[in-house]
Structure 1
Amino acid sequence: MPSACRGYDEWMIRVLLPRQQPGWKLVVPAVLLLCAFMVPGIMILAGQGEPAFNGVDTTWQAFTFTLHSPFWDGVNAVLNWAGYAGILAFHVVLALALLVWQRPMGAVFAATSGITALALTQLAKAVVGRDRPQGAQVLTDTGSYPSGHVSATTAFLMVLAILIGRWWMALLAAVGVLAMMVSRTYLSAHWLSDVLGGACLAAGVVLIMWWRFRDICVKENELADGRTIWAAKASRRLQAGEPAE
């Protein structure tokens, strides 16, 4: 195959080809993240809603009030939808896409990560029972710690970043999580510690899930020749000397 075609083909087929990491590089950060989620929750329970970091929460909340404007109100209304109902829909689309691309265990990994993060978030809300900030601009359920929007967003974007395995996806995931964290405090739906707790919980869950699913996901990716269906078709056309669609 001509070198130009090989370069194009290599660029096309590196889709959903995750890079392997030693097990401890997944487990240790996961445990640390889950501890970072649990410690504030325990402090909130012990302090009856007034933990040592309450001053940081209220200071940040006061700062977000200075950012309010009609434009940012509109942006955060979209993020409010995207961070919950939207993310659930995105999880379903991702799982279905992985099934179409002949990666059923990848679909199981994506779905299990999202469901587990959501279930643990709701359990923690019920156990901790923290009051939300006053003056929320959106409808909220009971329990402020941790943030469900941030937890769901973190789980989805981390799964996507792991499966795609590209630096730009990791960057987009980080930006997306930070945007959702700021949005929830901007809308007075959560304290700063709530959004940090949600991100830590979901990130820890996804890393644990990937540690368990990684080998079988990588294996099925290799059996699929490291390609998505459309990339494989493009490669065959290039090898035959035909223009790719």
Structure 2
Amino acid sequence: MRAGLVAAGTFVVVLVAVKSGLTQSWDRRAADWFRPHDEWGATQVLLGPVIDGLEPRRSYVLLGLVAVVLCLRRRSWRPAWYAALVATASMGATIAVKVLTHRPDPTGDVPSTGGSFPSGHVVALSVCLAFVALMCWRRTRWWHWVIVSIPPAVMAAALLYSNAHWLTDVLGGALLAVALICWAASLPLRTLVTEPRVAGDEENGRPRSVVAEKP
């Protein structure tokens, strides 16, 4: 939870800096470095399809499909409620900040989602993959998070090399995602989603967890 608080606090600092224009010159230099003279070269050709292939809608669809499978396997609606909470929180927070900042992207256009900051692609992909791990494994290991972090890292590179987002947009998206992941990982609902159940063991119409059993 401490990591989530640090990420949230850092996100607020970056948000204020972006809103006040303090990062604009730094962002412009970074954009020129990632895509010199706005040219579309071999790197852009390689990474460009990642943006559409791992867009937010597909990320949330993946989260929904995993939740449905877990609902059927565990015979419980809790994975669906958990996934719905995660999706609503991440989409709501992202859109709210985008509307607040109303920041143009590197091409000078204001995206239809409300603004360029933070990167919705990074937030959605990071959050959805992280919560797939949180729902599937009761205790996540370090290598789970290494695997989870690879697609968002590739997405961040694609956005920067394609000049689709500023560097601070990507940084803000990563920080917001970490804050959301830490918040939802600490919810009691997550424990209820992942704890094992015994078929036919019911109390007040609800299956009880094995953890609740007393010898």
Identify whether the pair has TM-score above 0.5, normalized to the shorter chain.
yes
| Pair 36,74 (structure 1): closer, same or farther in 2 beyond 3 Å | same
CA contact (8 A) 1:91 1:111 kept: no
TM-score using structure 1 length = 0.69
How much has 1:209 moved relative to structure 2?
A: 1.4
- Counterpart for residue 130 of structure 1: 103
The whole-number CA distance in structure 1 between the counterparts of 2:177 and 2:96 is 13
| Pair 75,183 (structure 1): closer, same or farther in 2 beyond 3 Å | closer
Matched, 1:113 2:83: no
How much has 1:224 moved relative to structure 2?
A: 5.2
- Counterpart for residue 172 of structure 1: 147
Task: Report the 3-state secondary structure (helix = DSSP H, G, I; strand = E; otherwise coil) of the residue aligned with 2:186.
Answer: helix
What is the CA deviation profile of residues 42-90 of structure 1, one whole-angstrom value per residue up to 9, with x for unaligned ones? Answer: 2222x2xx21x33332222112215843564254224334122211221
How much has 1:144 moved relative to structure 2?
A: 0.9
The whole-number CA distance in structure 2 between the counterparts of 1:224 and 1:73 is 51
- Counterpart for residue 158 of structure 2: 183
CA contact (8 A) 1:80 1:183 kept: no
CA contact (8 A) 1:87 1:156 kept: yes
TM-score using structure 2 length = 0.78
Task: Report the 3-state secondary structure (helix = DSSP H, G, I; strand = E; otherwise coil) of the residue aligned with 1:216.
Answer: helix
Match of 1:57 among 13, 19, 27: 27
The whole-number CA distance in structure 2 between the counterparts of 1:123 and 1:113 is 15
For 2:32, give the aligned amino acid: A
Percent of residue pairs bearing the same amino acid type: 22
Q: CA RMSD in A?
A: 2.4
The whole-number CA distance in structure 2 between the counterparts of 1:79 and 1:96 is 26
| Structure with more of its chain in strand, by fraction | 2
The whole-number CA distance in structure 2 between the counterparts of 1:132 and 1:188 is 8
How much has 1:181 moved relative to structure 2?
A: 1.2
Match of 1:154 among 126, 132, 140: 126
Which sections of structure 2, spanning at least 5 residues, go unmatched? 200-215
CA contact (8 A) 1:135 1:188 kept: no
- Counterpart for residue 93 of structure 1: 65
How many residues align structurally? 191
What is the CA deviation profile of residues 17-52 of structure 1, one whole-angstrom value per residue up to 9, with x for unaligned ones? Answer: xxxxxxxxx2x211111112121112222x2xx21x
How much has 1:132 moved relative to structure 2?
A: 1.1
How much has 1:127 moved relative to structure 2?
A: 0.7
Runs (4+) off by over 3 Å: none
Question: Higher Cα Rg: structure 1 or 2?
Answer: 1
- Counterpart for residue 216 of structure 1: 192
- Counterpart for residue 76 of structure 1: 48
For 1:131, give the aligned amino acid: P
